[in-house]
Amino acid sequence: MTPYMFLAQVLSEKYDVDPDTISPEATLTELGLDSLTIVELLFDVEDEFGIEIPEERATFQTLAEAAALVDELVQAKGG
Amino acid sequence: MPLRRTFITGIGVVSPHGDNLDEVFDRVFAGESSVRKVPIEANGSRCDMLLSPVDFEPGHLIPKMSGRFMARATKMAVVAAHHALEASGLLVSGAGPAEAGIYLGCGLGGSDELQAHYERFLADPPRRLRAASTPMIMASGPASHISMQYGITGPTMTYSIACVSSAVAIGEAFRAIRHGYLDTALAGGTEAQLNAGALAGWRELSVLASEHTTGAEASSRPFDAQRTGLVLGEGSIILVLESEDAARARGAEPLAEIVGYGVSSDAYNLTEPSSDGQTRAMRLALEDASVAGERIGYVNAHATGTLLGDRVEAEAIRNTFGSHADKLAVSSTKSVHGHLIGAASALETALTVRMLQTGRIAPTANLTDPDPECDLDCVPLVGREAPGLEYALTNSFAFGGSNATLVLRKVLAS
């Protein structure tokens, strides 16, 4: 599963985000996530992909940007 | 300002006997035990423990997003609050009364989450702790989530005083209403610590019951000579308290009245009780209620099924009531629902309300071989009709020597 697909799935299944509102351009704030919830979501991502997202890299706004960061970290890990 | 009368106008339960108070009371009155053997896994091994667990499924009552940040005790409290608000008629479009206060008791907070987060952090290799771990573990989490979910903006108070937590929460809410600080409060308790780490600590204290020869369900035996200790339970019970004016203004049907509250400390020992401190709590509660001891018909005892605890309480009841102790009905409903720690007093208050309403006193189940040192009418085995019951006490005593007693009164037909 790609990072984007995973993010979209988790948001709708575990966070009750309406699937119709989920798109690559949507920001996490627009989808109704507060700061603590975003950190929780990143935790789910870290668990799924076996990576650690450095705090200084967590500057993304949109789902596409978040997915790109995860892609990059997975590649760097050798995955 | 004159003291205001305080009524209970709604009760919500998430208990080992279910979440319908009428059915819960019928089962408790029938002496039906919720105690059973539950497999607990830790360090790769598994053992069966005697517990009184809740078959809990919050379903649609907790949104997934906020549920991610709730420990089990919090989820139970949010659901119990929903039931309480609904029962009182104060739940409107999913919201409660904005000006109300929340007074909650909780012993160990998000104990299940504490264990899960620390397991992760202390594992080899270690994992980062979730950012949500601290607000999930804190004992005040349940009250905070009730406030957020139901839009309740008054004081959000949490009392963490071991086994008296919810008696004090109810008592302090009663005082706030009585003295005019609030018109409405949600008051009660929540506890969910039936996880391996917390249970291991309890086991080392040597206070937990072993299985009775007649079966797990007969293992909680307050006042019985064959007692071996207490059985831990879990759950959340929340009451809606309202001033007389507030209740009457909206035509709410009061279930019972809270008329007195007494609280004291033993200043004696961390785990051993003292009859002096307990007696003082009962006397203060009676004084607060301006009710003579002779008018009390029933005491819901704290009695957990430990030898020392049961005997000291029996002595304290005698010291408080003198010769009237011979005419009192005293029972421990922990014989069937176990000890809910921070939620215990709230459950026992709810059951006592039902006893006043129905004129039926729930028994001490499993009391087949009464301890002669607890020489009281402990309503053994079979529930009792008591149509004239007007006043009742509920006792709660805690590790650390904290004692709290509430006095409840039946609502008489006007």
Give the side-chain half-sphere CA count within 13 A for A57. Answer: 14
Q: Which of A14, A46, A52 is closest, CB to CB, to B68?
A: A14
Residue B148 dihedral angles phi and psi, to the nearest 5°: -70, -45
In B151-294, which ranges are continuous DSSP H helix? 165-178, 196-204, 244-249, 275-289
Q: Using an 8 Å Cβ cutoff, are B88 and B252 in contact?
A: yes
Find residue B260's DSSP bridge partners. Answer: B407
Domain-embedded: residue B217: yes
Q: Do B131 and A37 touch (CB under 8 A)?
A: no
Does A15 touch chain B if contact means CB atoms closer than 8 Å? yes
Does A16 touch chain B if contact means CB atoms closer than 8 Å? yes
- Give per-residue pLDDT as tens, B63-92: 988 999 999 999 999 999 999 999 999 999
Read off the CATH number of the domain in which B172 is found. 3.40.47.10
Locate B54 and state its tokens: 């809740």
Measured CA distances, B14 to A12, B79, B82, B186, B258 (Å): 28, 7, 10, 15, 22
Q: Do B130 and A37 touch (CB under 8 A)?
A: no
Same domain, yes or no, for B154 and B177?
yes
Q: How many CB atoms lie within 10 A of CB B59?
A: 7
Instruction: Report pLDDT for A4.
Output: 95
Q: Using an 8 Å Cβ cutoff, are B62 and B70 in contact?
A: yes
∠ Cα B394 B397 B399 (to 5°): 160
Q: Do A40 and B131 touch (CB under 8 A)?
A: yes
Locate B260 and state its tokens: 């007195």
Which residue stretches of chain B have pLDDT < 50? none
Instruction: Report pLDDT for B125.
Output: 86
Q: Using an 8 Å Cβ cutoff, are B346 and B103 in contact?
A: no
Does A4 touch chain B if contact means CB atoms closer than 8 Å? no
Same domain, yes or no, for B234 and B322?
no
Read off the CATH number of the domain in which A60 is found. 1.10.1200.10
Instruction: Report pLDDT for B187.
Output: 99
pLDDT band of A55, cuts 50, 70, 90: confident
Q: Do A14 and B128 touch (CB under 8 A)?
A: no
Same domain, yes or no, for B268 and B378?
yes
Chain A residues within an 8 Å CB radius of B131: 36, 39-40, 43
Chain B residues within an 8 Å CB radius of A16: 63-65
Separation of alpha carbons B244 and B261, rounded Å? 17
Give the side-chain half-sphere CA count within 13 A for B372. Answer: 0
Q: Which residues span the domain enclosing B96?
A: 6-249
Same domain, yes or no, for B136 and B162?
yes
Q: Which residues span the domain enclosing A25?
A: 3-77
Same domain, yes or no, for B282 and B177?
no
Same domain, yes or no, for B195 and B324?
no
User: Of B249, B283, B315, which residue constitutes the final position of a domain?
Assistant: B249
Instruction: Report pLDDT for B214.
Output: 97
Measured CA distances, B354 to B8, B98, B174, B361, B412 (Å): 11, 28, 19, 9, 14
User: Of B229, B249, B269, which residue constitutes the final position of a domain?
Assistant: B249
Instruction: Report pLDDT for B413.
Output: 79
Counting every residue written for chain B, the total comes to: 414
Nearest CA to CA, how far is A51 from chain B (Å)? 11
Residue A79 confidence (pLDDT) above 70: no
- Give per-residue pLDDT as tens, A4-35: 999 999 999 999 899 999 999 999 999 999 98
Same domain, yes or no, for B298 and B388?
yes
DSSP characters over B162-194: GGGHHHHHHHHHHHHHHTTS-SEEEEEEEE---
Q: Is the ipTM of this complex over 0.85?
A: no
Same domain, yes or no, for B354 and B221?
no
List residues of B with catalytic annotation.
163, 302, 339
Domain-embedded: residue B254: no
Same domain, yes or no, for B345 and B375?
yes
Q: How many beta-carbon pairs below 8 A join chains A and B? A: 30
B344-358 vs B165-178: helix axis angle to the nearest 10? 60
User: Of B215, B249, B283, which residue constitutes the final position of a domain?
Assistant: B249
Nearest CA to CA, how far is B69 from chain A (Å)? 9
Q: Do B65 and A39 touch (CB under 8 A)?
A: no
Q: How many CB atoms lie within 10 A of CB B127?
A: 15
Please state the domain count of chain B. Answer: 2
Residue B244 dihedral angles phi and psi, to the nearest 5°: -55, -45
